[in-house]
Amino acid sequence: MKPAPTPLLVQESEVDITAVRAQGAGGQNVNKVSSAIHLRFDIPACSLPDDVKQRLLALRDKRITQEGVLIIKAQSHRTQDMNRLDAFARLHALVDSVAEAPAVRRPTRPTRASRQRRLDTKARRSETKAGRAKPLDS
């Protein structure tokens, strides 16, 4: 059995966190308090292994800019601390999703029995369709 991979940790010093005002309904609290969090993570400049960086940059994710900066906005909670934790959790989840390299697919050849089943099915289908043809006038 393969040992569990060690989780990759993102250094807090590599992340730029900005508090902004949340959008949407919420009354006076939304208008007064900067409780939403903008988390910016520069992928090319981080200390993650190069292969993990490449897999992160290869993701087709709209949160990753052309320059390779991942931007996460967390505003679902009422407090700044909870939104900060939510943003870091989402960042770690994204990094963990690409931490392990995908398995290499080794192409296989079809078995003799599967080739024979395919040919038998084709022959039966051909007979069915041939039976639908108009009879020839001789």
pLDDT surpassing 70 at residue 138: no
Task: Write out pLDDT tens, residues 64-121.
Answer: 999 999 999 999 888 899 999 999 999 999 999 998 888 999 999 999 999 999 999 9
111/97 Cα distance (integer angstroms): 35
List the structure tokens of 66. 């052309």
pLDDT in tens, 48-64: 899 999 999 999 989 99
**pLDDT, tens only, 83-98:** 999 999 999 999 999 9
pLDDT tier at 3 (50, 70, 90 boundaries)? low
**Domains located in the chain, CATH noted:** 12-97 (3.30.160.20)
DSSP collapsed to 3 states, 7-45: CCCCCHHHEEEEEECCCCCCCHHHHHCCCEEEEEEECCC
